[in-house]
Amino acid sequence: MPGGRGRKGRLSARILANQLAILALTGLIGFVLFAFAQRGEIDRAYEQRALDIAQTTAAEPQIRQAMEYGGGGDVVQTVTEQIRKASGASYVVVLDLRGVRHSHPDPTLVGEPTGDPIVVLDGRPHVGTDQGATGRSANGKAPLYGPTGKLVGEVSAGIPEHYVLGELWRELPTFGLYSAIAVALGSAAAFLLAGRLKRTTFGLELEEIAGLLQDREAMLHGIREGVVAFDPDGRITVVNDEARELLGIGTALGSTLAEVLPDGRLRRALDGTLTGNDISVLTDDHCLVVNRMPVTLHGRELGAVVTVRDRTELIGLLRELDSVRGLTDALRAQQHEFTNRMHTVAGLLDIGDHDAAYEFAVETAGAEQALTESVRERIGNPLLVGLIVAKTTVAAERGIRIVLSEDSALGEDPPHLRRLLAIVGNLLDNAIDAAATGPARPGGCEVRLSIIETVDVVRVEVADTGPGIPPGTSESIFEDGWSTRPDRGTARRGLGLALVHRLVQRHGGTITVSEGPGAVFSLTLPVPDTAPAPQGALFTTAPAVPAGASTGTAGGDRW
């Protein structure tokens, strides 16, 4: 392809040459076709003229009288020759019904039979082309009737072929001039079109365009990143396999986003309504990062290109890494607290107060067990018990108390279990963060949790003592990427509530949040669960459980 640049202009030259050749060929074909058509028109005109001469002769009274009654000497020959010379015909021949000539330009043939049948016996005139004794001519034949109306013969008149050709040659130069003008105009249009095509292809040669197309196809379908291109009108012109899978749009070439995607954050990110870099979008199956870039070339707007990256696994791993870091800090704090307790026990033993040391150790060990048992009394499922105990332990290290309401009640195998793990985990994380940033309270910062299972619904409510939700943001808070706080460590904020909202809405539930200080999230999920999530469902995984949470395996949230 590098050599193609050195041949700049060849494409337009080839296009121009081909167009000129096509114009010349079509002009020549048109000229020949017109010549044949005009020849036919002139032939018909001269045949009609010959027929008019024959009919004029057949209407001559002297000829009619002589042909029906006989006699008159050479009156038929004399009159027909006068008519022939006056009309310029090559011949005017009068025949009787036996085919015998009564007139002819060659007097020696008068009285001789023609050998051809009489064609006017049907009483109608006839035209055609005749190859007679005088040469090729346009011929017209008319029936000859006597004074009594009896058919007595036939009059045949002919006009020489060279008259027809002469008329044709006189008309062809004019048509040739018209053809030349048409070819010249077409050539000018072809030259302008070739220049426009050259500008449209940015001076690229055919080989370069073909190479670019091959490179583009190999690149688009080989990369593990979704690519969607739009023309200036917003219609999809390019979409690779990865984009079809991530966006779920199938074959969308030539369509607009409004035709292939419902209104929502994903469509707004793709069409440029949402601005910025690395826009996070949560779909039913993926966590996507969308970037849109306008495309211009030589000052011309060509549309836009959108790249879509699947960050589902990466975001999950980053969140888990951030959780592990938080857990490490909590374990370090617990180690410090455990060391202080051991120092207390050691001090009591050193002073010989064994009873006090024993009571202190029993009281410390029973506190953790009491927490677990208090949760088990209301929550029957061990996964949710482990999740709540784990979150309670982590919150306690930050000086926040999680309180499970007295009316909470959930069975051992509740509906929407995997969704509840993700929902409760995300809501508790957000509530802990909010409570930690809230104003100091006499009784300390607190998060209240309520989980109630009834015959019709599973109801979850999470409240905190934090600063709450700003007025007017109760709807936008559930959008992907919305957050009042910066990213925490390696984890991206603004995904947890979006995930909760999506899980609730997809399964026919409702979710609301109060505005003002102390946010209260309330949601319901219908019973029965018509689409139970399998183990390991998307956006759910098992969280780490800090020391002290000894109850089973806890499920939790991925984000």
Helix or strand holding residue 524 (H, E) = strand 520-526
Other CB atoms within a 10 A radius of the CB of residue 474 amount to 14
What is the residue-wise DSSP string for 26-63? Answer: HHHHHHHHHHHHHHHHHHHHHHHHHHHHHHHHHT-HHH
Per-residue confidence (pLDDT) for residue 175, from 0 to 100: 67
Would you say the C-alpha torsion 458, 463, 469, 471 has a positive or negative sign? positive
**Pairing mode of beta strands 226-230, 236-239:** antiparallel
**In CATH terms, are 13-166 and 224-311 the same topology?**
yes
Q: What 3-state class would DSSP assign to 360?
A: helix
Per-residue confidence (pLDDT) for residue 539, from 0 to 100: 44
Average pLDDT, the chain: 76
What is the residue-wise DSSP string for 281-309? Answer: EE-SS-EEEEEEEEEEETTEEEEEEEEEE
Q: Of the spans 37-51, 93-107, 118-132, 329-343, which averages the highest pLDDT? A: 93-107
Range name among 109-123, 193-207, 465-479 with the lowest pLDDT average: 193-207
Per-residue confidence (pLDDT) for residue 7, from 0 to 100: 46
Condensed to tens digits (0 to 9), the pLDDT of residues 282-323 reads 777 777 888 999 888 777 788 899 888 887 766 666 666 766
Condensed to tens digits (0 to 9), the pLDDT of residues 262-288 reads 887 888 888 888 888 888 787 777 778
Confidence of residue 131 (pLDDT cuts 50, 70, 90): low
Cis peptide before 532 (omega within 30 of 0): no
Phi, psi (deg, nearest 5) at residue 135: 105, -175
Per-residue confidence (pLDDT) for residue 37, from 0 to 100: 67
Q: Is the pLDDT of residue 558 over 50?
A: no
Other CB atoms within a 10 A radius of the CB of residue 97 amount to 14
* Cα–Cα distance, 59 to 69 (Å, whole number): 16
Range name among 61-75, 455-469, 534-548 with the lowest pLDDT average: 534-548
440: CB partners within 8 A, 6+ apart: none
Confidence of residue 6 (pLDDT cuts 50, 70, 90): very low
Tell the residue number behind the tokens 């999470």, with chain if given. 462
324: CB partners within 8 A, 6+ apart: 544
Q: Is the pLDDT of residue 490 over 60?
A: no
Q: How far is CA 79 from CA 60, 75, 139, 386, 463, in A?
A: 8, 6, 19, 132, 128
Top-confidence residue, 356 or 210: 356
Q: Decide which of 3.30.930.10, 3.30.70.3270, 3.30.450.20, 3.40.50.1980 is the CATH code for 13-166.
A: 3.30.450.20
Condensed to tens digits (0 to 9), the pLDDT of residues 16-72 reads 677 777 777 877 777 677 767 666 666 777 788 888 888 888 888 888 888 888 765
Per-residue confidence (pLDDT) for residue 508, from 0 to 100: 83
Confidence of residue 494 (pLDDT cuts 50, 70, 90): low
pTM of the shown model? 0.48
Query: What CATH topology corresponds to 224-311?
Result: Beta-Lactamase (3.30.450)
* Cα–Cα distance, 166 to 298 (Å, whole number): 60
**Amino acid at the residue 285:** D
Condensed to tens digits (0 to 9), the pLDDT of residues 75-91 reads 888 888 888 888 888 88
Quick check: 428 and 528 in contact, CB under 8 A? Answer: no
Condensed to tens digits (0 to 9), the pLDDT of residues 196-231 reads 777 666 666 667 777 777 766 666 666 778 888 888
Closest CA to 292 of 219, 234, 213, 214: 234
Q: Is the pLDDT of residue 550 over 60?
A: no
Other CB atoms within a 10 A radius of the CB of residue 270 amount to 27
pLDDT > 90: what percent of the chain? 4
Top-confidence residue, 60 or 186: 60
Per-residue confidence (pLDDT) for residue 221, from 0 to 100: 66
Condensed to tens digits (0 to 9), the pLDDT of residues 152-170 reads 899 988 887 765 556 656 6
Per-residue confidence (pLDDT) for residue 450, from 0 to 100: 93
Q: Is the pLDDT of residue 451 over 90?
A: yes
What's the token pair of residue 341?
A: 């307790």
Confidence of residue 523 (pLDDT cuts 50, 70, 90): very high
Condensed to tens digits (0 to 9), the pLDDT of residues 380-417 reads 898 888 888 878 877 887 788 888 998 999 988 888 88
* Cα–Cα distance, 354 to 348 (Å, whole number): 7
Q: Is the pLDDT of residue 491 over 60?
A: no
The ranges assigned to domains in the chain are 13-166, 224-311, 373-483+493-526
Top-confidence residue, 229 or 12: 229
**Pairing mode of beta strands 520-526, 445-453:** unpaired
Per-residue confidence (pLDDT) for residue 229, from 0 to 100: 87
CATH class for the region spanning 373-483+493-526:
alpha beta
Output the 3-class SS for 192-235.
HHHHHHHHHCCCCCHHHHHHHHHHHHHHHHHCCCEEEEECCCCE
Q: Is the pLDDT of residue 420 over 80?
A: yes
CB-based burial, 133-144: b 16+ in 10 Å, e otherwise: ebeebbbbbbbb
Phi, psi (deg, nearest 5) at residue 403: -115, 120
Phi, psi (deg, nearest 5) at residue 294: -65, 150
Q: What 3-state class would DSSP assign to 352?
A: coil
